[in-house]
Amino acid sequence: MSATAISTTAAASTRRTNDSGKLILGTGLAFASLILLPAVATQIGLGASLTGALRIALMRASSRAIGGSSAGSEGASASFSCH
């Protein structure tokens, strides 16, 4: 196996590891926003509007973690827009 083939294989392996990490982080944030946050908010008595705002923030963070976009706020706000 040549040095180029080895470095290409190593780069592909690193890319898969990074993608797996992003997917795990994004899934964890989505799980937190859909399951954990409402349960905790109910237990401590947070209002619905504050809980909704926190859920949106966690979903945006999840989307950015998976997509890797640093300027994802415009895309996320367009998807949550009511216009």
Q: CA angle 18-58-44, nearest 5°?
A: 135
pLDDT of amino acid 15: 65
DSSP 8-state assignment for residue 59: H
Task: Note the pLDDT tens digit of each residue in 16-34.
Answer: 677 888 888 888 888 888 8
CA 21/CA 12 separation, integer angstroms = 14
Q: Is the pLDDT of residue 54 over 70?
A: yes
Q: What is the pTM of this model?
A: 0.58
pLDDT of amino acid 43: 94
Query: Average pLDDT in the 33-39 region?
Result: 91
CA 39/CA 8 separation, integer angstroms = 46
Domain membership of residue 40 as a residue range: 3-79
Q: For the chain, what is the domain count?
A: 1
Number of Cβ within 10 Å of residue 80's Cβ equals 10
